Amino acid sequence: MSEERLEHLLKQEIVVQPPEEFIENANVKDYEAEYRKFEKDPENFWSSIAKELFWYERWKKVLEWNYPHARWFVGAKTNITVNALDRHVKNGKRNKVAFFWEDELGNERVVTYGELYRLVNKLANALKKAGIKKGDRVVIYMPLVVEQIAAMLACARIGAIHSVVYAGFSAPALKHRIEDAEAKIIITADVTIRRGRAIPLKRIVDEAIMELSFIKQVVVLRRLEPKVDLIGEKEVDFYEFMNGCSDYCEPEVMDSEDPLFILYTSGSTGKPKGVLHTTGGYMVGTYYSMKTVFDLKDNDVYWCTADPGWITGHSYIVYGPLIAGATQVIAEGAPNYPDFGRWWRLIEKYGVNIFYTAPTAIRMFMKAGEEWPNKYDLSSLRLLGSVGEPINPEAWLWYYRVIGKERCPIIDTWWQTETGTVMITTIDSLPMKPGKAGKPVPGVVADVVDKEGNPVKADKGGFLVVKYPWPSMMRTIWKNPKRYEQYWNTIPNCYTAGDVAVKDEDGYIMILGRADDVINVSGHRIGTMEVESALVSHSAVAEAAVIGIPDPIKGEAIKAFVILKKGYSSSEELVDSLKQHVKAELGAIAVPSKIEFVGKLPKTRSGKIMRRVLKAKELGIDPGDLSTLED
Ligand code: WT7
């Protein structure tokens, strides 16, 4: 595509048709027909999908909807690992590759379904032996390695609730999650390797659990030589932990509504909240979307570049793909280390067919130049995906042209930790509009509405909501049921996602961004209050306010406004010290890119910081109604 043509396309509304060949072979050839099938009989729609999976006992009722509480596949019994592992091992896929794993240096590990099955079973037995029972919580703080995925599945095998914490979070952030979940065991590793550097994870765990006496055991995957020391009775080597354990563990019979995992995510309050997902509905939802949204076929090689520390990894590395029996690529470390060719080399090497990544990565590669992907053969690709934040049309078109060679449809998938699975995108047969995510996935009733819940006119902004329960929806917020209800009580009869959006005349939804005090940095949710609390815990800071500002690569970056305590004055060193402090409190992703020292912050008469006033000033836009401003 020439520069001129690109510019022309950007000015008008672009509609890109998926290739004929793609539609002909797609799992869903006719989106509208599939959606109508759902609308005609939602319960029958979901039950016919659920019937493709294994259950010890079928449901008595598909859905019990007691607003805002849903129960899916009521009374049914299953175990998600039987669907993700046993089913394949017993049906001719024992030696099918589940994962091609690589590190930054190109060291490989190939794991078949049979091998993964044995590892999960052994680890499940070890957890049992250590006293872990159904309903107990296990925190997993590990790099992207096969053992991380096995740890999640081992928990699910015995009915323990896993809570994976992304290995980029700092000790205090990890501590909060362990405490809130009241985990009995932590599974971790000595290090993760990123940009050629070993980042010590075990040390972060040590710091996090120093004061937590309820931790019974710390299981450590020791990767480096010489092996890190294990201290005291609580610490045990990952493989020694499994010594003597049988490689078959009878799966725990789980009720459809038994909890599967807790995953913490940031909101507009100070502390992250534990989103709880349950077994049956999540299993059916991830399986369905894997086959429809990602158009997964038996022979596909699929690569999702997320980490299981986020919901994307839970649903689209661990559960969805394994339940659907996929062969996957996973890669620990940075996308551009040792060079910008790493990802494209992997696509060539493994013949990746379906590739799922985030706009922030695409923009980074755009900046590095197309000579990098152009060095490699990307002709195996047939479907591209995007997730985590709005994808700007420029990045969309680059992804389409340079990576997909104008042959591969792009699915821009909108969803959330809370929704569990993809909610809005362009499924297979649907034309694409760069910058617009698309239409609700069959099974999802999404809309753009005003505060009262009335649909807004085409091309007018409003709140993105969901109006009908779906199987993979979160069931509650761990230890905070009121907070769960708020999602459904903000706008009448709607689940409020927290995003603002517009819908066009064709029903395509474009997500504009968060409506609340959440910043989306490189597709990761950061709560403004979390960063503010971290800042004010620094000895020099009296008050702080944090906003998101546009960033060409990250989508949004964090800007902090800081009032210093008496006796402190602004300096480069202080800026560095504040950044270091936020990194230590929360993790690298929450560090502000800009810090400005101010004498005063705009507040309401009741003392609440008016972040939108700061933002309007920063961006030179209209701040809106200022009648509540203090002065
Ligand atoms: C928030 C959810 C779901 C996996 C990763 C993020 C934003 C997510 C898109 C998209 C525009 C998107 C929303 C949403 N978001 N996908 N395709 N287009 N925005 O999960 O951390 O729970 O964040 O990410 O603002 O509310 P999460």
pTM across the whole model: 0.96
Percent of the chain at pLDDT above 90? 91
Q: How far apart are CA 491 and CA 514, in angstroms?
A: 16
Residue 429, pLDDT score: 81
Residue 517 CB–ligand 1 contact under 6 Å: no
Q: Measured from the CB, is residue 22 less than 6 Å from ligand 1?
A: no
Taking residues 585-600, what's their average pLDDT?
A: 96
pLDDT of residue 9: 53
CA distance 108 to 518: 38
Q: What confidence score (pLDDT) does residue 608 get?
A: 86
pLDDT at 620: 87
Report whether residue 410 contacts ligand 1, using a CB cutoff of 6 Å. Answer: no
pLDDT in tens, 353-410: 999 999 999 999 999 999 999 999 999 999 999 999 999 999 999 999 999 999 999 9
Q: How would you label 442-462 residue by residue, b for 16+ Cβ within 10 Å and e otherwise?
A: bbbbbbbbeeebeebeeeeeb
Average pLDDT of the chain to the nearest whole number? 95
Whether the pLDDT of residue 320 is over 90: the answer is yes
pLDDT of residue 589: 95
Q: Does the beta carbon of 439 lie inside 6 Å of ligand 1?
A: no
Q: Which of 224, 188, 206 is nearest to 103 (CA)?
A: 224
Has residue 12 got a pLDDT over 90? no
Work out which ligand 1 atom sits closest to the CA atom of 518.
25
Section 567-584 average pLDDT: 96
Q: Predicted confidence band at 623 (pLDDT cuts at 50, 70, 90)?
A: confident
pLDDT digits (tens, 9 = 90+) for 453-495: 999 999 889 999 999 999 999 999 999 999 999 999 999 999 9
Output the residue whose Cα is nearest ligand 1's atom 20. 416
* Probe target for ligand 1 pocket from 263, 305, 389, 433, with the most ligand atoms within 8 Å of CB: 389
- Domains of the chain and CATH, by start: 36-348+358-379+391-401 (3.40.50.12780), 518-619 (3.30.300.30)
- Band of pLDDT at residue 626, cut at 50, 70 and 90: confident
Confidence at residue 428, expressed as pLDDT on a 0 to 100 scale: 79
How far is residue 301's CA from residue 252's CA, in Å, rounded to a whole number?
31
- State which H helix or E strand residue 608 sits in: none
Q: How far is the CA of 94 from the centre of ligand 1 (A)?
A: 35
Q: Say if ligand 1 is within 6 A of residue 389 CB.
A: yes
- Of all protein residues, whose CA lies closest to atom 8 belonging to ligand 1? 388
Q: Beta 327-331 vs 301-304: how paired, if at all?
A: parallel
Residues making up the chain, counted from first to last: 631
Per-residue confidence band for 3, with pLDDT thresholds at 50, 70 and 90: low
Share of the chain above pLDDT 70, in %: 98
SS3 428: coil
Mutate to test the pocket of ligand 1, among 262, 263, 416 (most ligand atoms within 8 A of CB): 416
What pLDDT digit, counting tens, does each position of 97-140 carry? 999 999 999 999 999 999 999 999 999 999 999 999 999 999 99
Query: Is the beta carbon of 380 within 6 A of some atom in ligand 1?
Result: no
Does residue 607 have a pLDDT over 90?
A: no
472 lines ligand 1 (CB under 6 A): no
Query: How confident is the model over 2-19, as a mean pLDDT?
Result: 70
Q: Which residue has the higher pLDDT, 368 or 608?
A: 368
pLDDT band at 2 (very low <50, low <70, confident <90, very high): low
In angstroms, what is the span from residue 589 Cα to ligand 1's centroid? 16
Q: What pLDDT, on the 0 to 100 scale, is given for residue 11?
A: 60
pLDDT tens per residue, range 32-88: 999 999 999 999 999 999 999 999 999 999 999 999 999 999 999 999 999 999 999
Measured by CA distance, the residue closest to atom 27 of ligand 1 is 416
What is the end-to-end Cα distance of the chain in Å, rounded? 53
Distances (CA, A) of 478 to 80, 182, 263, 281, 474: 21, 11, 9, 18, 10
For residue range 169-213, list pLDDT tens digits in order: 999 999 999 999 999 999 999 999 999 999 999 999 999 999 999
